Copies of this chain bind each other. A is one copy, B any other.
């Protein structure tokens, strides 16, 4: 079975991923990309590291994609999340969704990235220009 959620230890190409999603039934394609910014909450970011509990991250990611296909009137969806060290300006996560119509494509794309951020066991470690570094563990 083709996996819809993948962890990528190296930079990946969104054009290829997008091309794999397109077919004659597709009227709407919505995508989201998360990039490593130069700043986060007012601090200058030098780079970051994503660590995952890969076994559970892949299972939970796949569940999110299956739930999206059940909840929304979409044709298909994919998500790839980087792990390992990333520099500023690198792509961290990509979501692509195809549907007959745009409303469902947008809604599912937004839902998937929100669920991935909330549920998939991946942790971000940021290194700042001032030399400090730390894990981000968002509060409740």
Contact = CB atoms under 8 A, between A and B. Distances in A.
Interface stretch (A31-39, A49-57, A119-127, A131-139): A31-39
A102 B113 CA distance: 9
Interface residues of A, number: 30
Given A25-B38, A29-B35, A32-B28, A110 B106 contact: yes
- Secondary structure call for the A interface: mixed
A35 B30 contact: no
A27 interface: yes
Given A24-B37, A30-B32, 19 more contacts: A14-B15, A15-B15, A26-B37, A27-B34, A28-B35, A29-B32, A29-B33, A29-B34, A30-B31, A30-B33, A31-B31, A31-B32, A31-B33, A32-B102, A32-B105, A37-B100, A102-B113, A106-B106, A106-B109
21 contacts: A14-B18, A22-B35, A22-B89, A23-B89, A24-B37, A24-B88, A24-B89, A25-B38, A25-B39, A26-B37, A27-B34, A28-B35, A29-B33, A30-B32, A30-B33, A30-B109, A32-B105, A34-B102, A102-B110, A106-B109, A106-B110
Cβ-closest 7 pairs across A and B: A24-B38, A29-B33, A27-B37, A15-B15, A31-B31, A26-B35, A106-B110
